[in-house]
Amino acid sequence: MSAAADESRDAGRRPVVAVLDYGSGNIHSAVKALDAAGGDVHLTRDPGLIREADGLLVPGVGAFQAVMDQLRAVRGPEMIERRLAGGRPVLGICVGMQVMFERGVERGVETEGLGEWPGVVDELKAPVVPHMGWNTVEAGEGSRLFRGLEDERFYFVHSFAAQEWTLEAHGPFAQPVVTWARHGGRFLAAVENGPLSATQFHPEKSGEAGIRLLRNWIEGLPGATL
């Protein structure tokens, strides 16, 4: 176990949250927001810390293909898959959510995603693109992320999104909690599926509501005592 994760747990302090540092835009606002939400935050690409942290945040801005290329350059897909295989929480934001799907199609370019969820990310069906600004969401029943936030607005800035959800749980697995929003047509605003959660909007740019959402996620991490 890494020294940061070990020290945090032994002292009963904040849960350790690793933010995957793979070169995707300015992510310091996400680090600050996670800190404000109660995380012991580490911006890192160290495989040991990423594997052992209580939670992993996968940020993402820009094009689907560029984000996938950057993730592969630091072996991000392997680290994310390994965490999820062990049931360890991961949160994706914006394009960090989009790459969890099987593929993305942008300007005629089709790119393979991480394939954690079935489906395609493509351009919003809306008269005005990008979708930029504050919007309400339709929180899924039983959502942990949106607990106490059902009437809040969140900040979006994107031209592409997943617009269908086809995954159904079977057997002992809990049904995924799916949250929708509208800009023109309906699109996925968030998904909570076992250890993997993601938001299309930016909690770190969504003021107090975003901080509270991140806190809801952190409070669900292993060993959290907030």
The catalytic site residues sit at 94, 202, 204
Summarize the chain as % helix, strand, coil (round to 5). Answer: 30, 30, 40
Q: Compute the C-alpha angle 24/27/20, nearest 5°.
A: 65
What is the rounded distance in angstroms from the CA atom of residue 173 to the CA atom of residue 169? Answer: 6
* Short-list 76, 85, 98, 89, CA closest to 39: 89
With a CB cutoff of 8 Å and minimum separation 6, the contacts of 155 are: 133, 134, 201, 202, 205, 206, 207, 210
